[in-house]
Amino acid sequence: MPPAHADPRLPSPQDSRLAASARQAIASGRDLALNELPSVVKERIVEMLEATEAGNAISVVEVKAEITTQQAADLLNVSRPFLVKLVESGALPARLVGTHRRLRLRDVLAYKEQSDHKREAVLDELVADAQAQEMGYGRV
């Protein structure tokens, strides 16, 4: 299983509201039911329990809503210079903080999803072509 930081998921507005309520309840000493937790938190708790059950150490890593070019490059599994070219070409929006670029995590995740869909479409097309030519390829 990949580490949680390899697959960040932004909380929905509903998740944010539930998180605020849950935090207040815990701070006041009130017990919580699982249905009072945000879905994104429940998913990560399941992952942490699976890791613990397997005898693995766990770590919780916060991913800010605005990230550096290196963090964005790591998330997209590309080099930082390649990511900077994406920013400079306008494919990914960024803002300057002094001399440093910052990207919204939301924009990077949207780019990643779009890129993944394009890659899947090209792969499907290649497999269809190979099958049409009876090359013995199939998608697993």
| pLDDT per residue as tens digits for the range 79-95 | 999 999 999 999 999 99
Mean pLDDT of the chain: 88
Range of lowest pLDDT (49-53, 76-80, 116-120, 126-130) = 126-130
Mean pLDDT along residues 51-56: 95
Six-digit token pair at 36? 């009072």
Tell me: pLDDT of 2 over 60: no
**pTM for this prediction:** 0.64
Element (H or E) spanning 89, and its range? helix 80-89
Tell me: pLDDT of 4 over 50: no
Smallest CA-to-CA distance from 111 within 62, 136, 77 is with: 77
Q: What CA–CA distance (Å, rounded) separates 48 from 4?
A: 9
How far CA 53 is from CA of 4, 46, 61, 113, in Å, comes to: 16, 10, 20, 31
| pLDDT per residue as tens digits for the range 97-117 | 999 999 999 999 999 999 999
Domains of the chain, start order: 4-53 (no CATH), 66-132 (1.10.1660)
**What's the pLDDT score for residue 6?**
55
